[in-house]
Amino acid sequence: MNDRASPPERRLDRRVPLGCPASIRLRGGEIIAAECIDISVGGMTLRAAYVPAEAEVLEVAVASPGGALARPPLVTRLEVRRCHALGNGLYEIGGATLRVVE
């Protein structure tokens, strides 16, 4: 029997796993390839070879999941809340959606 309680879930919104291609557009116009790991109404988790600043606002475009319906990408403004090194030059970036652009 385990007497340790599970840590409380801090997320308010349910996360949906995606694994879709994404891109991060920086203020200078540079585009960084990324992968959207999961998404929710309030935010998303990305994997990319980019280290953002704390609270940096990124423009993120997420491709629609593969399927019969071709849809334009979801474009959002994402405020960075966390960034963790994964190794091999990749980072996991978690953020809160400030607004949907397209």
Q: Are 39 and 75 in contact (CB under 8 A)?
A: no
Mean pLDDT of the chain: 87
12-25 residue pLDDT tens: 667 777 789 999 99
Is it the case that residue 102 has pLDDT exceeding 90?
no
Total-model pTM: 0.82
Q: In this structure, which amino acid lies at residue 76?
A: T
CA-based end-to-end distance of the chain: 50
Is it the case that residue 27 has pLDDT exceeding 80?
yes
What pLDDT does 69 receive? Answer: 66
**How many Å apart are CA 81 and CA 2, to the nearest integer?**
32
